[in-house]
Amino acid sequence: MNVDKRNLGVLKTAGIVVACAFLFGFAMVPLYRVVCEHVLGIKLAAGAVDQSRAAGLVEDASRSVRVQFVASVNSRLPWVFVPELPSVEVHPGKLTEVWFDATNTGAEAIVGNAVPSIAPSTASSYFNKTECFCFTEQVLKAGESRRMPVRFFVDPQLPKDVRELTLSYTFYANEVATRRLSETGSPLPAAG
């Protein structure tokens, strides 16, 4: 009977540890946002804005903002990733399109995800993307290269003292989707 009680205690403890680990996994995304935005001062970019919002803007041709581009890859991802231009001058309110190039230098197909950020963080809410490769997983076969667009506008309400923004992306290997791709031929989970 003592062994059964001890086993039951171990089982309860293991269940609590598993439940805590599961909850911690869900808490990581909001914790990451809080640490980046409030502790480190890095504002993470939001998702796509509605095209109608971009259509309703009036271009402010009286001023321009320089948008710089930074591209990097995590050391575990055998990709080359670069912006086609180091920077562009834009008028707030004008929809602008820029391109990034990625090449898989690895020996097999890999799924990658790009994580964007905007600096300075105080201006990030004024930078709006209508289309971005960062919204979806990117699959590149061995040796494959791809041009990927980003369409954005800088809100005319951007404070006048902000004359320069930096849009940076870091690509990470999505190991779960890459494994699924090699096993099933698709990076997406099976339906049903």
Q: CA angle, 18 as apex, 11 and 111 as ends, to 5°?
A: 145
For 43-184, the fitting CATH number among 3.40.50.1370, 2.60.370.10, 2.30.30.40, 3.40.50.300 is 2.60.370.10
pLDDT digits (tens, 9 = 90+) for 11-68: 888 778 766 565 555 455 455 544 444 444 444 445 555 555 555 678 899 999 999 9
Contact (CB, 8 A) for 132 and 151: yes
Contact partners, residue 177, CB within 8 Å, separation at least 6: 111, 137, 187, 188
Cis peptide bond prior to 120, omega within 30° of 0:
yes
Kindly report the pTM of this predicted structure. 0.70
Query: How far apart are the C-alpha atoms of 79 and 91, rounded to whole Å?
Result: 33
Give domain limits for the chain.
Answer: 1-40, 43-184
**Would you give the DSSP letter of residue 37?**
I
DSSP 3-state assignment of 189?
A: coil
Residue 189 has pLDDT above 90, yes or no: no
Contact partners, residue 62, CB within 8 Å, separation at least 6: none
**Would you give the DSSP letter of residue 76?**
T
What residue type is assigned to position 97 of the chain? E
Residue 2 phi, psi dihedral angles, 5° rounding: -60, -40
Contact (CB, 8 A) for 148 and 100: yes
For residue 12, what pLDDT is reported?
A: 85
Closest among 49, 48, 44 to 29, alpha carbons compared: 44
Residue 119 has pLDDT above 70, yes or no: yes
